[in-house]
Amino acid sequence: MPPDTSTDVQLGELLIHSGLIEPEQFDAAYRLSFKMRLPLGRVLAMHGHVAEAHLRSALEIQARVRDGLLPFEHAVQALNSMARDGISLEQALDRLSSSAGSKQAVPTHNRLGELLMESGLANRSQVEDGMIHSHETGLPLGMILVNKGVLSRAALNSALAAQRFIRDGRVPRDKALYALKLARIRSITLEQSLAENADVTVPTQGFGFGELFVLAGVISESQLLTAKELEVTEDIPLEQVFVMLGYASRPCTKAANHILNMIAQGVLFEDQAAQIVKSVQYAESNQELQEVLAQIDSDPEMFIEEKKQVEITDILKNAGLISDKDLQIATALALANKVPLLKTLYDANLIDEAVTHYASELKMYLDHELLTLEQATIVMCYCLENQMTVEEALELFGWTAPG
């Protein structure tokens, strides 16, 4: 049975009802996630129960259902269609709305839409069609228009910045519109256009909250753009948007602001800060967060050194599967051909599919400090020799954390 209220929907309910996993798989993964202190989604992906792409879509759908933007039944149908037919989440939602014949008239009054039309970035028909799709899918208007090819990401960024400046009273609306039009014609940023043609100087967007999460690999640039659009159109803080969309926990957003202050004070470099964000990404309580931040405050350099990530190639080298010479050659080829190093090693027949799978899975354990490199190396060799899964080997050795 589906949940009684859409706002109470859980990830497992969506995955089970959409047919992406079996109830037994979910129960086993839930017990393991509790035991290993790992996020449930990560455990499901590590076991191969749910593809990473499907998991990301399920998390996005969960946020929309909880926000009342999508009925639970529609969410389940969209996830099922996406997995069954190998299409994107947006395509599944479009197909669902089309089959339901829901292209009814919806309110098309939208401040961002008006700005886009008046500046010539989109016409009325495009905005109204975008509003309909926004109403059906729960995606913000700007990202709908980007997905449809009406707007570029740069154009949407400029429009959102213009709307923010107008809302905050920093730039008069007529000057913002004029600058936005010229920015579109000359293919320059809104800030440049304001400075050159409207005699208005606004501070350029530097390294901020959203950029920190992108650098850390926690979210993509597209996800950041979606969050920034909601920040402007809904007039709520970006940190709150991140929590609402499921990009980060509240303790993690608090940590990010603390870390940004440390960057401003010159205590941390940006790349160091990104590594720290990764370490507190799954902080579940303020106590856990304070313990990590206390370490950072006392000795940032020591913390970074302790948190240095182990690469997949370290596992492969330790297990004797590749040599330093193999790695040097593959690295040069990867850079020359602009392809991932792991794919280069695979294409060169230096590693096979099983090795790639085991190494990738073990790296997740290493990233969460559930295994040491030595333990991961032993598990890798044992799995290859005995053709068993990583989970089976870990259970055999009794390893669930560094020992």
Rounded to whole angstroms, how far apart are CA atoms 252 and 274? 12
- Residue whose token pair is 């280069």: 344
* CA–CA distances in Å: residue 389 to residues 46, 90, 350, 401, 402: 11, 34, 21, 17, 19
Rounded to whole angstroms, how far apart are CA atoms 40 and 58? 12
Phi (first) and psi of residue 375, to 5 degrees: -65, -40
Select from 296, 224, 209 the least CA-distant residue to 260.
209
- Please give the chain's pLDDT, 403 residues, in tens: 444 444 456 777 888 888 888 888 888 877 776 665 566 766 777 777 888 778 878 877 776 676 556 678 888 888 888 888 888 877 887 777 665 544 443 444 457 888 888 888 999 888 888 887 776 666 788 878 887 888 888 888 888 888 888 877 888 888 888 888 888 888 887 888 888 776 666 655 567 888 888 888 777 777 788 888 888 877 788 888 888 777 788 888 888 888 888 888 877 788 888 888 877 776 777 777 777 667 666 655 544 444 456 788 888 988 888 888 888 888 878 777 777 888 888 888 888 888 888 888 888 888 777 788 888 888 888 888 888 888 888 887 777 544 4
Tokens representing residue 357 in the block: 């799978």
Rounded to whole angstroms, how far apart are CA atoms 366 and 46? 13
Spatial contact of 361 and 380, defined as CB atoms under 8 Å apart: no
Domain boundaries, the chain: 6-99, 111-197, 209-306, 312-397
Rounded to whole angstroms, how far apart are CA atoms 270 and 377? 31
- Residue whose token pair is 């759908």: 61
Rounded to whole angstroms, how far apart are CA atoms 109 and 136? 16
User: What is the pLDDT, as a whole number, of residue 299?
Assistant: 57
Select from 112, 206, 194, 189 the least CA-distant residue to 154.
189
Rounded to whole angstroms, how far apart are CA atoms 222 and 322? 36
Rounded to whole angstroms, how far apart are CA atoms 252 and 226? 19
Rounded to whole angstroms, how far apart are CA atoms 109 and 132? 11
Buried b (16+ CB within 10 A) or exposed e, 183-192: bbeeebbbbe
* CA–CA distances in Å: residue 166 to residues 95, 96, 152, 171: 36, 37, 21, 5
The overall longest dimension of the chain from CA atoms, in Å, is: 71
Q: For residue 308, what is the DSSP state?
A: P
Phi (first) and psi of residue 152, to 5 degrees: -90, 165
Q: At what angle do helices 270-280 and 250-264 cross, to 10 degrees?
A: 160
